[in-house]
Each structure stands twice: as C-alpha cells, then as structure tokens.
Amino acid sequence: MPRYKLTVEYVGTRYSGWQAQRNARTVAGELLEAVKVATGGEALELMGSGRTDAGVHAVAQVAHLDLSGTHDPRDLRHALNDALPADIHVLGIARVDHRFHARHGATARQYLYQVSRRRTAFAKPFVWWVKDPLDTDRMAIAARLFEGRHDYRSFCDRDPALGSTLVHVERCRSDLNGPLLLIRVRASHFLWRQVRRMVGVLVEVGRGTFTPEDVDAFLRSDSREPARFTAPPSGLFLERVDYEGEASDPDAPVRPAVSVRTPR
C-alpha cells in the first residue's frame, strides 16, 4: 500500500476546518473528492498533521495519503490540483515509507497570526483588523512569557478526551511588518483554540486591558477570562510542520503570509 506525503496550502475562509465531516465542506473532504477524480479510486487514508479550525488557513499543512495503486508523485500532484478548487493547492507530493505518520511523527508545529493595524480592502480574509492603538513593546514582552512549559487550561476549550493541557511552547514572538503585527508561535503541539486565545490576550495587553503580569497569572491559574478575547480565525495560518531531521531557524525573520502595504 503506497503512502504519500502531501504538502498543502489553502485559504480556509470557505471551509469548516481541515477534518472531513459528513455535512460540512472541509479541506480534507475536497482532497478526498479530488483523489477520486485523479485516480478513479478511493483514498484508503488521509491524515493531516493537525486539525485547523473553520476559517483558518495553511501555508504548508502536511498530510499522508494511502492509495491502493502506485502513482508517479509529479503526475498525481498535477491531477489533484486540476481537480481541486482554486483555494486549495498541493505544493508537493513525495513517496514515503509506510511508517511515516503526518500527525504522530510531527516534532513541531508553527503558526503565524496577522493583526492589521489599518483597514484593508484586499487582505480582510487574512488579517484581524484592530482599530485601537496597540503598545507593541508591551505585547512583545508578554509574548515571551508564553515560552516554556506551561499549563494552558486557561487558553483552550475543554474536551474530556483532551488529557493533559501542558504544552511546551518553544517560541512566541511578535514583530512589526509595515501595518502588520505578526505573531509566530511554535510548539510540539497545540490545544483547541490555544493560539487564537494567546493572540487575543496579547492584543488586550496592547490595548491596555491586561498587563504582562496578567498573562503570567493566566498561565498559573484556571481562568475563563482568555476565552472572552479569542481572536478571529481569519488571521491565523498553519505556517509549517517539522519532522525528525527537519528544523526551522529560530532567529529567522517573521514574514507575512499575505502582505498589507503601507499607505503612501
């Protein structure tokens, strides 16, 4: 049974997340339909590195795909892209060992969030426009407090099957790029809505609602306060997924997934 590693980019605006659902349009659902058209058969398994929420985008989602027959990766990629809607695109396909697992084998996941400090006509589906002035220096200080191993029970939706809410965040940084405030978060895994709640709290630090000390307190307590400030999905991108032998440069500059130009 051949297994293929897929790297996929998509605009999540029209979809109810990654995971295939019976009564909703999803990214995985569109890929499964494209497999039927491209190969004439059903996928035996399609598994993503993680489930992105409704409206969340991906620069490089990784998935593994099991097919009953052998296909040339290059031809398969072209056939899938011909069958997919324009807002989903397979960047690459490689034949991999059957032991490769897109979800369980991932060693790190990296998300990028884009906050726009100005109203934009072109990038609205890809940013969260915050009208209020933001103290970006205070936000940068608060962002670093997320780094390390913490209990994120105050930053996720409760799920009885979730298990531990401990997460080791390798890096959480915010950088300015013209009108954009870019927040990059990297960890081994993430909890449901964790990144959006982290961003929401950081924006409130920028607004002056919270202080960096409040962020530290949320990480040490069980608070429902961060849930009130969950950032919208529009600005969130799954930026990259790493596997053993792969690593990103922690000091690499944070670049936007979709740019917003500085007005003249």
Reported as type and span, the H/E element at residue 212 is helix 212-219
* Number of structural domains the chain divides into: 2
Does residue 21 lie in a domain region?
yes
Does residue 249 lie in a domain region?
no
Strands 128-129, 106-116: pairing is parallel
Length of the chain: 264
Using DSSP's 3-state secondary structure scheme, residue 214 falls into helix
| Domain limits for position 218 | 107-243
**Positions in the chain short of pLDDT 50:** none
Residues 122 and 209 in one domain: yes
Does residue 131 lie in a domain region?
yes
Please state, in angstroms and rounded to a whole number, the distance separating the CA atoms of residues 128 and 214. Answer: 23
Q: What is the CATH number of the domain that holds 14?
A: 3.30.70.580
Residues 83 and 112 in one domain: no
Please state, in angstroms and rounded to a whole number, the distance separating the CA atoms of residues 198 and 210. Answer: 12
Does residue 251 lie in a domain region?
no
Residues 113 and 66 in one domain: no
Residues 212 and 163 in one domain: yes
User: Among all residues, which ones are annotated catalytic?
Assistant: 53
Q: What is the CATH number of the domain that holds 123?
A: 3.30.70.660
SS3 labels along 175-206: EEECCEEEEEEEECCCCCCHHHHHHHHHHHHH
In this predicted structure, what is the pLDDT of residue 159?
Answer: 67
Closest among 72, 96, 42 to 31, alpha carbons compared: 42
Helices and strands, counts by H and E, the chain? 5, 10
Residues 171 and 82 in one domain: no
What b/e sequence results for 65-77 when a residue is b if at least 16 CB atoms lie within 10 Å of its CB, and e otherwise?
A: bebeeebebeebb
